[in-house]
Structure 1
Amino acid sequence: MSTASDYLSRLISFDSVSRNSNEPVSDCVAAWLQELNFEVERTTYVDPRGVRKCNLLARRDPIAAQEQTLASGTGGLAYFCHTDTVTADRWTGPGGNPFHAVFENGRIYGRGACDMKGSLAAMLDAAQSISLADQMRPLWIVCTADEEVGFEGAQYLVDHSAAFRDLASLDPVSIIGEPTRLSVIHAHKGIVGMRIRSQGKAAHSSTDMGINANVAMVPMLQTLLEIDEQCRTDETLRNDAFDPPTLTWNFGVSDEMKTVNIVPDHCTAWASMRTMPGVDGREIVERVRRRAEELGLSFDLYSGGDPMHTDRDAPFVKELCELAEPYIGANEPHAVCYATDGCVLGELNRRIVCGPGGIAQAHTSDEFIEIEQLENGVRFYQDAIRHWCC
């Protein structure tokens, strides 16, 4: 029987950085899930760069009382994770290879160890420890692609998966296993991104034959700067449940020009903001769009996601906090400023984020998860499965 550490070592060995296909790691996880008596639906798509990506939606139904479970409309438990990771080009962790797990000083190092292959390893270990004979409600394990680059895998799952339609109809308690050190997150921000592009004409800079693309972009940059100030000071654009309580407007610009004797023929600006429940920033998007049209610039809206919000006083949220208490002490649900696949899972009304590992270790050049956190994650997920499925 594999342990969470065994599972994690193998998961880390796959280079599933978002620019690559996640099919090899998905093949491995699908085989494990089938060994654990899950039925696995696989949905594949080709990303905008022509790379094949894969989602897995696995369901394990109880043997006893299966017909009663399906007829009653009660949910069970669903667990969500992603199998892609951020890049590891500047890895500084021990061993020098981000795709080889290193056990050192009570930690497991490797790209994805914390965000979020460690969480998946903990859930796999937890699922194998629960006897199918004891299970009375469905258990789902869902693995998506491309979470790190805009929740594209989860969105494809929502739009194209027949198995997700079944899951959504039962509306189970749904745990998104991102690293929270097992704190229960009932709300997080969403994200909106924009791109504005100016087109000019390249020429030798000693002539007047070129059109400098930066000239048309400068007024747009002034607008983006004004919006930055608005987001910091406008009381109507705040939600004090978050820290910071603002839309955290961010923007930049580049003409990619590396020499001074060529007139820049294009210039691209970008902007993003972290939306919140009750503060969607729609008027800001429209302001940028209108200004781009006035200046003759192209405007594109990136795929993003809505903020996630679940009532902090919902009974299941309180139950999860109670399940977490043996591992983190007395606790309350809270809100965070990052985003997860929960942004596009709005059909599920009982979403929370909770997983082993800390967000401070995610995306770092020496990413790790503490072995104690991993083991506590196994126990917490075991408790959750027993509570809602047994």
Structure 2
Amino acid sequence: MSPKIPQAFQSAKSILCDLVRFETVSGTSTDEINAYIASHCEAAATDRIIAPGPVPGQQNIAFRFGPDVSGGLILSGHTDVVPVQDQKWSHPPFVATERDGRIYGRGTCDMKGFLASMIAAVPKLVDAKLKRPIWLAFTYDEETGCLGAPYLAEEIAKQATDIEAVIVGEPTEMSVVDQHKGAFVEYVTFNGVSAHSSLPWLGLSANEYAIRFSAQLITLNEEFSQEVPVGEGDRMTTLNLAQINGGTAHNIISDKCRVMWSLRCAPGQDADAIVQRIRAMARALEAEMQRHATEASVEFETVFDVPPLAANTASTALRLGLGMTGQNAGQSVNYGTEAGVYQKVGLPTIICGPGSIEQAHKPDEWIAVQQLDACDSFIERLIAHQSV
């Protein structure tokens, strides 16, 4: 593609109002919002990547501005939002409402505010005569486990050489974050043998083995809690026993019980090793079950696996972010993001975006207009950095 004159400049606030109208709850089609994004970016971009996932109607997109040379920056944000069901809103959730210096609406904070600043910067990207490229990347279904980002991260890593920084614009109040926990969620299903409860020796209770497995998870979580001082939760690996579902009636030995467990692995910890340790616990119970009933089994189903973002003091992304914000060091947060996905494919990555995580996911979600202005200024400084 060759650059063309973009459409007339729109403020980030105006674009945010447009973006909120798209009801992009995770799992829904990205066609409409991606078409809107493309209408602002495509004509002016010098290249484009479309990275679909396995579900029809869901695609990641990215646009390059500037030359195809090394040393590029990637600004990345997700287009999906969390649901509004069973939340009591004072404002229509999918209509942006401005009041007292705030813009209310689902996704204003997490994270369509950053997307709006990205899109609003397109005319500036064209006028700047960039010497090194800036990519604007838009992913789908982050809220349900960073499902879309891996497809785009792998594709963009192939096409963009020697990336200086990926900046994921999750809400950090424009502070640089360089580490966060990973997230892993799995179902473990115990398959026993059904029988009448008056004849328990003829069956094998899946519930009992699932509960024993759950007790082992609780013990392991207590072990993790002893490794880090109280009050330093951002450095603590934690387990959550999320669901236990099994049984049909009081007089039936349960032949199936499913446990959902989740792991929040602190940066620097080996998440894969912990997962394998937990699976070994379940397999040991499976072996015991099969000594009583050869048909018994244990099954594993990974729901999602989000890598942690591990701090790297030599990171070019961290150095750039600190220089742009004036911070002395990066920060750590407890929530997970797509930043770990980019880092996993070898791209130096930080998080820095407008708004506070305290306003995300709740009724009357909002972002301060002042934060949008700060984000616009941050992106302008990045453009200047890429133009010299």
Query: Do the two structures share a fold, i.e. TM-score over 0.5?
Result: yes
1:119 aligned residue (106, 114, 119): 114
- In structure 1, what is the equivalent of residue 61 of structure 2? 56
What SS does structure 2 have at the residue aligned with 1:289? helix
**1:230 and 2:223 aligned:** yes
2:208 aligned residue (215, 219, 224): 215
Aligned-residue RMSD, C-alpha: 2.8
Residues 13, 260 of structure 1: CA spacing in aligned structure 2 closer, same or farther, 3 A cutoff? farther
Which amino acid letter does the alignment assign opposite residue 373 of structure 1? Q
**1:154 and 2:149 aligned:** yes
1:249 aligned residue (231, 239, 242): 239
- In structure 2, what is the equivalent of residue 336 of structure 1? 333
What SS does structure 2 have at the residue aligned with 1:32? helix
Residues 364, 290 of structure 1: CA spacing in aligned structure 2 closer, same or farther, 3 A cutoff? same
What SS does structure 2 have at the residue aligned with 1:27? helix
Contact 1:224/1:251, CA 8 A, preserved across alignment:
yes
Contact 1:200/1:210, CA 8 A, preserved across alignment:
yes
1:269 aligned residue (239, 259, 271): 259
Instruction: Could you tell me which runs of 5 or more consecutive residues in structure 2 were left unpaired when the two chains were aligned.
Output: 1-8, 287-297
1:172 aligned residue (164, 173, 183): 164
Contact 1:190/1:276, CA 8 A, preserved across alignment:
yes
TM-aligned CA deviation for residue 128 of structure 1: 2.4
Which amino acid letter does the alignment assign opposite residue 58 of structure 2? K
TM-aligned CA deviation for residue 27 of structure 1: 1.5
2:51 aligned residue (34, 43, 59): 43
Partners of 2:21 and 2:136 lie apart in 1 by: 21
Deviations 1:4-45 (A, max 9, x none): 111111111111111212222112112211244353222223
Which amino acid letter does the alignment assign opposite residue 3 of structure 1? S
**1:91 and 2:87 aligned:** yes
Partners of 2:164 and 2:241 lie apart in 1 by: 38
Deviations 1:30-67 (A, max 9, x none): 221124435322222333xxx53110011012xxxx4x
Residues 263, 6 of structure 1: CA spacing in aligned structure 2 closer, same or farther, 3 A cutoff? farther
1:140 aligned residue (129, 135, 145): 135
- In structure 2, what is the equivalent of residue 299 of structure 1? 300
Farther-moved stretch of structure 1 (249-258 vs 81-90): 249-258
2:75 aligned residue (74, 79, 83): 79
TM-aligned CA deviation for residue 318 of structure 1: 4.2
Residues 313, 203 of structure 1: CA spacing in aligned structure 2 closer, same or farther, 3 A cutoff? same
Instruction: Could you tell me which runs of 5 or more consecutive residues in structure 1 were left unpaired when the two chains were aligned.
Output: none
Partners of 1:232 and 1:35 lie apart in 2 by: 53
Farther-moved stretch of structure 1 (210-219 vs 102-111): 210-219
- In structure 2, what is the equivalent of residue 194 of structure 1? 186
TM-aligned CA deviation for residue 193 of structure 1: 2.2
Deviations 1:97-143 (A, max 9, x none): 32111112211111111111111101222332344353221110011
Identity %: 30
Which amino acid letter does the alignment assign opposite residue 267 of structure 1? C
Which amino acid letter does the alignment assign opposite residue 189 of structure 2? R
Partners of 2:192 and 2:263 lie apart in 1 by: 28
Partners of 1:23 and 1:210 lie apart in 2 by: 51
Partners of 1:4 and 1:317 lie apart in 2 by: 25
Contact 2:245/2:257, CA 8 A, preserved across alignment:
yes
Contact 1:139/1:389, CA 8 A, preserved across alignment:
no
Partners of 1:278 and 1:242 lie apart in 2 by: 15
Which amino acid letter does the alignment assign opposite residue 156 of structure 1? Y
- In structure 2, what is the equivalent of residue 379 of structure 1? 377
Normalised to the residue count of structure 2, the TM-score between the two structures is 0.85
Contact 1:193/1:272, CA 8 A, preserved across alignment:
yes
